[in-house]
Chains A and B, each alone.
Chain A
Amino acid sequence: MKSSKPIPSTPRHSLLIVDDDVGFVHAAAEIARQNGFAVTTASSIEQAISCLEGSQFDLALIDLTLPDGNGMDLLDHVDLAGTQTVLVTGKPTLESALQAVRTPVVDYLVKPLQIERYQELLDDAQRRRPIVEASDTWRDMAGGSSLQKIKDAIRRVAKTDASVLIVGESGTGKELVARALHEESGRTGVMIAVNSGAVPPDLPASQLFGHEKGSFTGAISRHAGFFEQAHGGTLFLDEITEMPLHLQVHLLRALESKCVRRVGGQVDIPVDVRVVSATNRIPQQAIADGRMREDLFYRLSEFPLSLPPLRDRPEDIAILATTFLDRLNQRYGTRRAFAAGVMDRLLAHRWPGNIRELRNLVQRGYIMADGNRVDVDFQTQRPREPIAEDAHSITFRVGTTLDEIERRVLLKTLAYHGNNKLKAAEVLGISAKTIYNRLARYGAADDDAEIQDAN
């Protein structure tokens, strides 16, 4: 689940570890944390894709043999221009080695990983500029008139306190714009990103506004909610039209009073938070459908910002494609160029996945290039069949082991109930002791991040 992602003002370097060996992952993550990295972990391709959507990492360590496929499949989802990618395998074969060698942008290591080599990777990543400034994509990117208009709007509104509602299809870069707004704002606090549709339904107020110790079963300590965490900074509410209606009432009240009251609290706490929200729906339609309160819409959209789909701004396609290729060339010291006819094919495409799809296509073309000619192949851009899953449901591929099913059900249930182990035990029909035993076995007893990852 990407329920909340704090984005520090002073960015730390970030590492994504994709491996289903829990014992290795925990140890590798611990070493990276000791080196100052913010670590995200995923145990499958599906989880990793979820982590990579809207987030960038300085370093990605990807196991080739994963329960739901080959780690190479993830290369389409990593921004290789900014992420040092390392494929790791315990099964070195001639084929995978050749594939990797053909891909100059990734390192390829065989298990057992030498700790000295791992430390070198961490050091190298730290020497490079952190890539959290994804908004560089906006700041530095040349573009046609529509892109320039968006950049101009970001620059003008960023310095104000106006709430911004970003509307655009998937892949148009809504979260990047939110980050750009935060970074250009000059606000000293952090940006907290919240997926409004993924907030556990039984603890929404607690998540947003915090709670006092003992305010409900499982509230074992005082907790600052997203509003308080974002004090002095920006609160980014993604998928705002998916927020439960009763929570929209609380949100509106907080926005109007500029105060929050923790669940179980007696006092109103003033908060200085700039709110940026986003949706891929048409807000007026969401209001008509009863999914969004009209008064909240007006409160959130003091400055509406529409990100047009790529197909409506063909003048940007060539510019963006060239920019993506230039970044890869710059990153890896190459001089690759598009083959003849590529631009015509790019212009003729409909781009249902928008900028993200274009970036992935260029990246794949770069990886698979023979010599310095970069071609693109729309046939290989087959999106993975998404397994329908959200905060309320869980889906398994045929062949998933019973151990893995049990582990994911338990972690997902915990995440759904805000890590309330008593509640999770109750709905699963097991004892709390069993939950603790299982978590200890998974090595996740104190790792809320893993539980959060389960969603």
Chain B
Amino acid sequence: MPTKQQKPQPESAAGSKPGGPANADQIAHAVHDLRNSMNTLLMNAAVLGAGARNVPESLRPFIEQIGKSGRRCSEDLTHLFELVENRTR
């Protein structure tokens, strides 16, 4: 299933020199992609969570874990984004 426009991978994180510092645009671009991917992941995890009662009981903890981990990732990423955005501003 395709997700939001698959963006070309940056040449490195920098886009100019391997190992060099990334510019603000590249970081914003990567953050945008990550937000979209996380968004899709969380929404699909929610669908799985809602349908968990229809899967074998042995699999339910894993589905619950996807939801929990997804939410934690989201919080961590949001914090990271804030740090990155403040730094590149």
A interface list, Cβ under 8 A from B: 20-24, 26-28, 30-31, 34, 65, 67, 90-91, 110-115, 118, 401, 403, 441-443
Contacts and interface: CB of A to CB of B under 8 A. Distances in A.
B36 interface: yes
A113 B5 contact: no
Most buried by B among A21, A65, A91, A401: A21
7 contacts: A23-B44, A30-B47, A65-B32, A90-B36, A111-B39, A112-B77, A443-B1
B5 A27 contact: no
A23 B5 contact: no
A39 to B, nearest CB: 13
Contacts of A20: 4-5
Given A21-B39, A90-B39, A111-B38, A27 B46 contact: yes
B40 interface: yes
Given A90-B35, A111-B39, A113-B42, A23 B2 contact: yes
Most buried by B among A24, A113, A118, A441: A24
Nearest to B45: A115
A115 B40 CA distance: 11
A19 to B, nearest CB: 8
Nearest to A30: B47
Contacts of B71: 114-115
Given A34-B50, A90-B32, A112-B77, A401 B5 contact: yes
B43 A441 contact: no
Contacts of B33: 90
Nearest to B48: A27
* Interface SS of B by simple majority: helix
Contacts of B35: 90-91, 110-112
The 6 closest A-B pairs by CB, nearest first: A90-B35, A27-B43, A111-B39, A112-B38, A21-B4, A112-B39
Nearest to A116: B71
Given A21-B36, A111-B39, A112-B74, A442 B2 contact: yes
B76 to A, nearest CB: 11
B28 interface: yes
B9 interface: no
Given A31-B47, A112-B35, A442-B1, 9 more contacts: A27-B46, A31-B43, A31-B46, A31-B50, A90-B33, A91-B28, A112-B38, A114-B74, A115-B45
Interface in B1-53: 1-5, 28, 32-33, 35-36, 38-47, 50
Contacts of B78: 112
A111 B36 contact: yes
Contacts of A114: 42, 71, 74
Contacts of B32: 65, 90-91
